[in-house]
Structure 1
Amino acid sequence: MTGLGVPHGADFAAELADSVASMALSRAGQPPGSKEWPTHDWQWEQRIVDGHPYHPNCRSRPGFSVAEQLAYGPEHRPLVRLGLMPVPVDECLLTGAWPAELRDGERLLLPVHPWQAEHVLKRPAQGGVEAHPLMSLRTLALTGGGPHVKTALSARLTSSVRDISVYSIGMSATLSEFAETLTARMDGLLHFTRTLGAVTANSPELAAVLRESPQAYGDRVLPVAALATTELPESPAWLAEFARLALTAGLRLLELGVALEAHGQNLLLVLSESGAPLRLVYRDLADIRVSPARLARHGIPVPALSGRVVTDDVTTLRRKLFGSLVAGALAGTAGSATALRGALETAVRDLPRTPDLTALLEQPLPTKALTLMRLSPGTPGDQWTELPNPLL
């Protein structure tokens, strides 16, 4: 790529080399695969070793030394001590509630990732709490239980710099309240983890979100990305049942006016004692898309949202769901085109024939053009390409 002089190819090649080295480090010293069911939801997340199933730079962590990867990477199973950065409350944007234990008089204590404190903020944080890193690395589960903590991390992990925009903090409470109204229309098929509180010091580099743990919705809950570490998807009947559940929930929400970013990290599955798919849990509402026109058509009050999450463009809405759920979560779980086709053929038989389902059945499958996006740093937002429809 560098020899061909592809624009931005040298930077991409450097990221690719970083990802290869990081992947080797992630795989080194891993214990044999365990069939024992984890006790905590965070243990499932730490079983995911290889990262994004389709991204060319799936384990790229530029700016992280080997020691820092071992200290902070979830696949290495460390305990991470989050610092607490005091910020005067009148210098913060706060949505939702901020707990008393993260307050100090007229100051809010913002959890800060140690990498961020050292490399970006360049000042130490006081005190701290210990936590288990989840598969996104910058979101962690506190050792004493309770909410998950999403921290700002100004490093490019796969496609994006993982800081937290002031915009997303401002929208977080409204989106969380809106999601609760949607749950009532899902007949128990899908729940949303609530955003309990979100704070920014009016900077994407210093912000944090407290989010309800998915384990509030079932003891046997795991990210869809972790299903590939189990034997469950090897059963065609099980895979078809999971696909039916996921498509039923995703397409129902899309018809109502909400397109989920339902990839294997955001989407979680609750299983019965026997391993049967029971219901879904969705976390992190920052990248969903909301259609005011569709909401109004179904008599759903339109929330006070603005910016990138709001669109009535049908192509944008369908790309968001189909690209993440079908080309991402379901394809990654199935593991092959043949298995995916079989699961989809069974799953769609009894689904309501909406225009969205017709598009899924008859049109090429949209997917993010991940390599093109990394070679186009000046182009904001997602870029897309198409895959052959597995049902044709």
Structure 2
Amino acid sequence: MERVDLLPQPAGDDAAPHDDVAARADACAAVPLLNCLLREVARPVGEDVHRLPGTGRLLRVRGTRRPAGPEVRTGGTWQPLDHSDLVKLVAEELTRYTGRSNHELPAEMADSRDAVAALLTARARATPPDGLYLRSEQSLVTGHPHHPAPKARGGAPAAAWLPYAPEAYARFPVVLLGLREDEVVEEGDTAALDALGQAPPGYRLLPAHPWQLDLTAPGLAPAFADGRLVRLGTTGFPLWPTAAIRTLYTPEHDLFLKFSLDVRITNDIRRLWRHDLLRLRRTDEAAAGALAGFGPGAGWLGDRGYRTARFAFEELAVLVRDGFTGRLLPGATPLLAAGLVEGFEGSPLDRAADPAAWWEAYLRTVVPPALSAFADHGVVLEAHLQNTLVAVNAEGLPVQALFRDAEGVKLLPDVERAAGWERLVYCLVVNHLMELADLLAERHPGLDPWPAVRRELSRHDLPETRALLTAPSLPGKTNLLLRWTGADGADARYLPLPNPLTGG
């Protein structure tokens, strides 16, 4: 089946390039915002028509998985909404619906749309990576499908962040700093950092993300002035930003480096927070142990250690993450699960001769290790689309799952079992499997992807899985309402979504 272009195209072939980008950016940025509004607030009243309960207005959209063409009923007629109009409508609705105002989130929505426009322009001029793995990591122009401003970049001008954007096919060297030895704080195995360059006597090597260094420059000036920090130049090779933006990959060393980034991206400021770093070894070892016994069909990309400066513990922290050596099955190619949903050139979904068989292989690969980690080891993997890599064989069939990000792992009994299970269901089923299932159903009319999910879940004799198959609802995270009401980004709140697993 021919690949569907996931970025909306303008109606006419003779549209000016600027108009083309503006129209595509509007349409692309509207998708996740509409998904949030329809999931969390609006009430369906007819085919494609929804009532907004706060204002009482009627909203009409086309499509379900990626809603488009929003229109509002005004004066007896349907009036089309561009992205700016949609933001105003959402802001008015949420002010009435929640009884609270919020001036920050509408600005982030506008910033997200403008970022999409900058990314579309940059992608048209840039060369994508040759390898499928990096291509999948750098494909997420739309981003989180249920966040109101997934591409907001802190309101900074595009020139400040575009050189480091994975969606713009960026690759760049990182800055190498010398950190005076008496100021070094580290834990775990950080030896890989010392292979990235040469530090002078009395100093240790500390790589720094150039964007983060720009953001934190004023606070670091005293350390440069008194010699606690020295600049050593940059790496002699480029690193590739992955979907996580602040996590970079160096193919030369088969190594990932995760940095702090003092920018709000989706719900959180993306720092490596002290409390997460201090619990890193425990969560990483638990996740690695949970997956080690599963065999070659699953693996963990370990966060083996971190290094930072005593006087800038969070700002300059860098985390060392395992690469793929020794973790991939022979001949397998890792792909980001979120990239499979977004689409990229060479995706195995575009050449799947039997999509039902491909989906069954995918489920056999991804579901068992996540459930086993929970049931047998009390480890709640953050198995959502951006933390799951699925390796495929030469025919494009999934054969292996690799999970990552100890920062997002939860352990029982640190969290209650019911809360841990709810989080796993949201990450694995709602955020992950539901998105792929909806894509397959959209691209292959007549294919019902949910019986295969039910069969796979039924193979696991857990009281939670048995209850899940008959539960009336699944937990859907309320990203729009969380951000509007100013809740902490880690304070997940859920609303009930219809459970497609209860079908025949």
User: Same-fold call, TM > 0.5?
Assistant: yes
Q: Deviations over 1:324-371 (max 9, x none)?
A: 11111112222359554244234334x122112123212221122111
Q: 1:270 aligned to 385, 391, 394, which one?
A: 391
Q: Which amino acid aligns with 2:320?
A: L
Cα distance in structure 2, aligned partners of 1:78 and 1:389: 39
What does residue 341 of structure 1 align with? 450
Q: Is the 8 A contact 1:41 1:215 kept in 2?
A: no
1:149 Cα offset (Å): 0.7
Structure 1 residue 88 corresponds to structure 2 residue 209: no
What does residue 12 of structure 1 align with? 105
1:215 Cα offset (Å): 5.8
The change in CA–CA distance for 1:280 and 1:378 in structure 2 (over 3 A counts) is closer
Deviates more, 1:319-328 or 1:192-201: 192-201
1:151 Cα offset (Å): 0.8
Cα distance in structure 2, aligned partners of 1:289 and 1:42: 28
Deviates more, 1:338-347 or 1:105-114: 338-347
Mapping of 1:71-220 within 5 angstroms?
A: 71-99=163-191, 100-101=194-195, 103-122=199-218, 123=221, 125-129=231-235, 130-142=238-250, 144-202=252-310, 203-214=313-324, 216-218=326-328, 219-220=332-333
Q: Which amino acid aligns with 1:371?
A: L
Give me the CA root mean square deviation.
Answer: 2.7
Q: Is the 8 A contact 1:319 1:367 kept in 2?
A: no
1:375 Cα offset (Å): 1.6
Cα distance in structure 2, aligned partners of 1:376 and 1:206: 31
Q: Is the 8 A contact 1:372 1:383 kept in 2?
A: no
What does residue 306 of structure 1 align with? none
Deviates more, 1:20-29 or 1:381-390: 20-29
Cα distance in structure 1, aligned partners of 2:291 and 2:423: 20
What does residue 243 of structure 1 align with? 363
1:187 Cα offset (Å): 2.9
The number of equivalent residue pairs is 371
The change in CA–CA distance for 1:3 and 1:368 in structure 2 (over 3 A counts) is closer
Deviates more, 1:129-138 or 1:107-116: 107-116
Q: Deviations over 1:142-190 (max 9, x none)?
A: 2523311101101001111111012222222333333332233213332
Q: Which amino acid aligns with 1:49?
A: V
Cα distance in structure 1, aligned partners of 2:402 and 2:372: 15
Q: Deviations over 1:121-141 (max 9, x none)?
A: 335854122311111111111
Cα distance in structure 1, aligned partners of 2:233 and 2:131: 28
Q: Which amino acid aligns with 1:373?
A: L
Q: Deviations over 1:281-316 (max 9, x none)?
A: 011111111114xxxxxxxxxxxxxxxxx22x1221
What does residue 326 of structure 1 align with? 429
Q: Which amino acid aligns with 1:322?
A: V
1:242 Cα offset (Å): 1.0
Deviates more, 1:130-139 or 1:7-16: 7-16
Match of 2:103, SS?
helix
Q: Which amino acid aligns with 2:365?
A: L
Q: Which amino acid aligns with 1:211?
A: R
The change in CA–CA distance for 1:343 and 1:223 in structure 2 (over 3 A counts) is same
Match of 1:182, SS?
helix
The change in CA–CA distance for 1:29 and 1:85 in structure 2 (over 3 A counts) is closer
What does residue 302 of structure 1 align with? none
What does residue 255 of structure 1 align with? 375
Cα distance in structure 2, aligned partners of 1:108 and 1:40: 35
Q: Deviations over 1:230-286 (max 9, x none)?
A: 352871221132123322121111112111111111111111111111111011111
Q: Which amino acid aligns with 1:250?
A: A
Q: Which amino acid aligns with 1:326?
A: V
Q: Which amino acid aligns with 2:392?
A: L
Q: Is the 8 A contact 1:344 1:391 kept in 2?
A: yes
Q: Is the 8 A contact 1:193 1:211 kept in 2?
A: yes
Structure 1 residue 354 corresponds to structure 2 residue 462: yes
Q: Is the 8 A contact 2:298 2:365 kept in 1?
A: no
Deviates more, 1:232-241 or 1:163-172: 232-241
Q: Which amino acid aligns with 2:434?
A: A
Q: Is the 8 A contact 1:331 1:340 kept in 2?
A: no
Structure 1 residue 52 corresponds to structure 2 residue 172: no
Match of 2:454, SS?
helix
Cα distance in structure 2, aligned partners of 1:215 and 1:73: 26
Cα distance in structure 2, aligned partners of 1:198 and 1:261: 20
Q: Which amino acid aligns with 1:81?
A: P
Q: 2:474 aligned to 355, 358, 365, which one?
A: 365
Identical counterparts, % of pairs: 26
Q: Is the 8 A contact 2:475 2:495 kept in 1?
A: yes
* Length-normalised TM-score, structure 1: 0.86
The change in CA–CA distance for 1:192 and 1:104 in structure 2 (over 3 A counts) is farther
> Computing the radius of gyration over CA atoms, which structure comes out larger, 1 or 2?
2
* Length-normalised TM-score, structure 2: 0.68
Q: Which amino acid aligns with 1:127?
A: G
What does residue 349 of structure 2 align with? 232
Q: Which amino acid aligns with 1:112?
A: A
